[in-house]
Chains A and B, each alone.
Chain A
C-alpha cells in the first residue's frame, strides 16, 4: 500500500499539518531527539559533475557503494560548453580540469550503475530543469542534490534542498541524511500580477521584503491566489530562489496544474499507476488551520518589474524606483562595486551583456517571453546577448516554435543547454567592469566573471534591456496583441 502522509507517522490524521510537516514526517526513518538529528529518507538524489567527485572518492575509500543507484540521476551541466563541437567532434571545454571533471562523473556513474544524461543525450539539461521535465520530480518526494538551487523541485510539493559534498556521500551510502527540522514560513501572495510582471519579479520582490537572510532556518511554503494561478515553470522560478533568501527549501502544494504537467512527463507513472499516484500526491497539501512558525503576506498588486542594484539578491527594487541610500557599510561597498549611486535610477544604465537562461529562467515559458519582445526587433549593437535553453528538451521545443530563429534574427546567440553564464565555469564570462542584465539567480561580486557587475532580472526585463542597450521598463516593450505572455 502506498505510504500516504496521513498514515505515515500517526496511523490516523488528527492534527492539522503543513505540507512541510507531511513531507518531513512521511520520510522519517528515525525521529530526531535532543542527542541526534532525524534520519530522513531521500527519494531522489540528483548529481552533477562539480559537487560529486570527492563524494565518490570518499565512498570508495571506505569500501562502500551506492545503496540505491536507481534513486540517483546524474547530468552534466555546470562545466559543459554551450558552443557545439568543432569539425573534429571536440567540445570546447574551458579547461582540461573541466573536461576531466566531466569524465570523472562518467566513470563514477558507469562504475556504480547510476543513470547519466551525458553530452549528446536528448534528456540532458541543467539538473533542476531536466529532472522536473522528465517527471522524476513529483509531489510527496524528498529530493536532494549537491546544489543549492535544488529548492526548485519544491514547486511540485516535494521537500527538496541543497546539500554539501560530504552529504552527497552520506546519501549515496545510506539513501538517508541527518537533518534537524527547520521552522516553517508561509509566504502568502494574493492578487493578480500586472502585465509585464512574472514569477521572477515576485521572488525578487519577496527577497527584497524578507531580506537575503530572512528565510534562514526555515522551509518556505509559497501560498495564495497569485501562486495558485502560476504555471509549473513560474512556480519553479519562485521556489528556485528560496535559497537566495537563506531558506534551503521552498515549496508549493500540488494541484490540478501540477498533475496536468506531470501527466505529460515521460518518466511519470502512466495510466492507472498515474491515477493511483495522484491520489497520494493530492494529500500533500497544508491542512486548513495548519500553523506556520511565521507568515509573510505580499500584495501582488504592489509588485512591479523588479531588478537588483547591488551584490546580493536582497537588493531588489522596482525598475522605476530610485536606488536607495545605503544603510550600512556593506550596502555602500555593494553600491561602489556596481558603480551606482543612491538616488539614481536603474532605467537608462548602459548594458554590455544580457544573459537569458539558468535553472531560474531557462525553461520554455521564459524563452517565449524573450521571443515576445525580440520578435521584429534587434539587440542593441552595444549588447552581447546569450540565450541558453535549460535543457536539450527545452531547446528542441523552442526550435520547434521558431524561437531560435527570432533570437538569431535579433542578433543574439542561441547556445547549447547548460548553466553557462550563471556560474560562469564553462568559459561563458562577463568581462571585468561590464554590466550584465541576467535572468540567473545570483548577483554576487564576480559571479559571472571577475569584476563583472550583475543585475538580476526577469526574462522580459532582460529582453527589454537587450533591445534598448540600457536597463529599461519591460512594460514599454510588450506587444498588446499578445498580452497573455505577460
Chain B
C-alpha cells in the first residue's frame, strides 16, 4: 500500500443513497482469484447509461467520490474498494459509510470521509472545483475554501500516512496472542476440535 498524505483533485458525484457494493461491483465479476484490474467492472450496470458520472470525460482521473448517505452497504466484498482504488479514487465522501466497506477501504489506501449531510450536499455542488485533503490533519478543504474536519481513527491514520497495513502490527502481538491461547487451550466449549469428536469419515 502506498502512503497517502494529501489528495488534490476535483470530485465525481453520485447522489444516490444506499449505494451498495453489488452496484460498486456486481457479483458476476467476483469469480477472480486476484485483486488487480477490477476498475473496469466498477459500477458496470450503471455505466450502460451514457449520462452516468463515471462515463463523463470531464470526470476522468478524479480521485474523490462524493456519494449519498450509507455508501458501501451490503456485501462485505473487498472487491468494491479494490475496484474503486483501481479507478484511481483515493477518497470517498459521504454522510454515512457502511462499517465493513469503511474497514475494507482503509486497507486499500481509500480514505473514507464522513461529514454532515448538509456539508456533503454543499460539496456536491462544488465538485468541479479543486478539493484538497490533508490526511495528517484530517481536514478536507472545499474549492470555496471552507475547511471541514473529519473523524479518522488514529491507527488507520498512521497506516495511511506510512503506507503500512495492519498485518505487521498484528504479527508483533504474537507474545500476547500466545499467552491468550495458552489460557484457553483446555476450553472445549469454544474449540472446533474436541477429544470426543468422531473421526471425519466421509
Closest chain A residue, CB of each to CB of B36? A54
B9 at the interface (CB under 8 A from A): no
* Of B58-66, B130-138, B142-150, B185-193, the one with at least 4 CB within 8 A of chain A: B185-193
* A residues less than 8 Å from B171 (CB atoms): 64, 173-174
* B residues less than 8 Å from A122 (CB atoms): 202
For chain A residues 174-218, which have a beta carbon within 8 Å of chain B? 174-176, 178, 180, 182, 212-213, 216-217
Selected from B22, B98, B183, the residue in CB contact (under 8 A) with A447 is B22
Contacts A3-B183, A29-B173, A57-B33 given; does A330 touch B189 at CB 8 Å? no
What 1/0 flags go to B101-120 for Cβ under 8 Å of A?
00110011000000000000
Asked if residues A30 and B189 are in contact (CB atoms below 8 Å), the reply is: no
Contacts A246-B70, A312-B73 given; does A444 touch B20 at CB 8 Å? yes
The residue in B23, B177, B186 that gathers the most chain A C-beta atoms within 10 A of its C-beta is B177
B162 at the interface (CB under 8 A from A): no
Asked if residues A173 and B100 are in contact (CB atoms below 8 Å), the reply is: no
* B residues less than 8 Å from A266 (CB atoms): 198
A415 at the interface (CB under 8 A from B): no
Asked if residues A329 and B15 are in contact (CB atoms below 8 Å), the reply is: yes
A97 at the interface (CB under 8 A from B): yes
Closest chain-B Cβ to A30's Cβ sits at a distance in Å of: 5
Selected from B18, B33, B75, B170, the residue in CB contact (under 8 A) with A148 is B75
Asked if residues A54 and B17 are in contact (CB atoms below 8 Å), the reply is: no
* Of A267-275, A347-355, A370-378, the one with at least 4 CB within 8 A of chain B: A267-275
Docked Cα-Cα span, A41 to B167, in Å, equals 14
Closest chain-A Cβ to B45's Cβ sits at a distance in Å of: 5
A479 at the interface (CB under 8 A from B): no
Contacts A213-B70, A246-B98 given; does A36 touch B169 at CB 8 Å? yes
* Of A135-143, A225-233, A456-464, A469-477, the one with at least 4 CB within 8 A of chain B: A135-143
Closest chain-A Cβ to B30's Cβ sits at a distance in Å of: 5
Closest chain-A Cβ to B99's Cβ sits at a distance in Å of: 5
Asked if residues B33 and A174 are in contact (CB atoms below 8 Å), the reply is: no
A51 at the interface (CB under 8 A from B): yes
Closest chain A residue, CB of each to CB of B30? A50
Asked if residues B34 and A176 are in contact (CB atoms below 8 Å), the reply is: no
A79 at the interface (CB under 8 A from B): yes
Selected from A37, A269, A314, the residue in CB contact (under 8 A) with B153 is A37
Asked if residues B154 and A34 are in contact (CB atoms below 8 Å), the reply is: yes
Asked if residues B31 and A425 are in contact (CB atoms below 8 Å), the reply is: yes
Docked Cα-Cα span, A70 to B193, in Å, equals 7
Selected from A39, A70, A138, A446, the residue in CB contact (under 8 A) with B190 is A138
Docked Cα-Cα span, A71 to B190, in Å, equals 10
Selected from B18, B31, B35, B202, the residue in CB contact (under 8 A) with A312 is B18
B51 at the interface (CB under 8 A from A): no
A62 at the interface (CB under 8 A from B): yes
Asked if residues A170 and B167 are in contact (CB atoms below 8 Å), the reply is: yes
Selected from B100, B188, B192, B194, the residue in CB contact (under 8 A) with A2 is B188
Docked Cα-Cα span, A425 to B75, in Å, equals 14
A333 at the interface (CB under 8 A from B): yes
Asked if residues B17 and A43 are in contact (CB atoms below 8 Å), the reply is: no
Docked Cα-Cα span, A243 to B22, in Å, equals 14
* A residues less than 8 Å from B15 (CB atoms): 329
Contacts A329-B15, A330-B17 given; does A269 touch B188 at CB 8 Å? yes
* Of A9-17, A157-165, A402-410, the one with at least 4 CB within 8 A of chain B: A157-165
Docked Cα-Cα span, A148 to B200, in Å, equals 28
B5 at the interface (CB under 8 A from A): no
Closest chain A residue, CB of each to CB of B187? A2
B196 at the interface (CB under 8 A from A): yes
Asked if residues A39 and B99 are in contact (CB atoms below 8 Å), the reply is: no
* A residues less than 8 Å from B198 (CB atoms): 266
Asked if residues A41 and B192 are in contact (CB atoms below 8 Å), the reply is: no
Closest chain A residue, CB of each to CB of B195? A273
* B residues less than 8 Å from A447 (CB atoms): 22, 27
Docked Cα-Cα span, A173 to B165, in Å, equals 13
What 1/0 flags go to A40-79 for Cβ under 8 Å of B?
0101100000110110010000101001001101000011
Asked if residues A269 and B173 are in contact (CB atoms below 8 Å), the reply is: no
Docked Cα-Cα span, A78 to B171, in Å, equals 31
* Of A276-284, A359-367, A381-389, the one with at least 4 CB within 8 A of chain B: A276-284
Docked Cα-Cα span, A57 to B32, in Å, equals 12
Docked Cα-Cα span, A143 to B73, in Å, equals 21
Contacts A41-B177, A62-B167, A164-B104 given; does A97 touch B32 at CB 8 Å? yes
Asked if residues A174 and B30 are in contact (CB atoms below 8 Å), the reply is: no
Selected from A50, A98, A248, the residue in CB contact (under 8 A) with B99 is A248
Closest chain A residue, CB of each to CB of B16? A330
Docked Cα-Cα span, A445 to B27, in Å, equals 12
* B residues less than 8 Å from A94 (CB atoms): 31
* B residues less than 8 Å from A216 (CB atoms): 70, 96, 98-99
Asked if residues A176 and B170 are in contact (CB atoms below 8 Å), the reply is: yes
The residue in B16, B18, B68, B192 that gathers the most chain A C-beta atoms within 10 A of its C-beta is B192
Closest chain-B Cβ to A349's Cβ sits at a distance in Å of: 22
Known pairs A50-B77, A54-B78, A312-B73. 13 more at Cβ < 8 A? A54-B33, A62-B167, A78-B30, A140-B189, A148-B100, A164-B76, A175-B181, A178-B166, A182-B99, A216-B96, A216-B99, A244-B74, A446-B45
Binding site for A on B (CB under 8 A): 15-18, 20, 22-23, 26-28, 30-35, 45, 68-70, 73-78, 81, 96, 98-100, 103-104, 107-108, 153-155, 165-167, 169-171, 173-174, 176-177, 180-181, 183-184, 186-198, 200, 202
Q: List 27 contacting pairs A-B, 8 Å CB cutoff, sorted by A.
A: A34-B154, A35-B155, A36-B155, A36-B169, A44-B192, A53-B34, A54-B33, A54-B34, A70-B193, A95-B31, A97-B32, A100-B31, A104-B33, A140-B190, A162-B76, A163-B76, A173-B167, A174-B167, A178-B155, A178-B169, A246-B99, A276-B189, A312-B18, A329-B15, A330-B18, A424-B28, A442-B75
* Nearest 6 Cβ contacts at the A-B interface: A277-B189, A164-B104, A53-B33, A164-B78, A97-B31, A162-B76
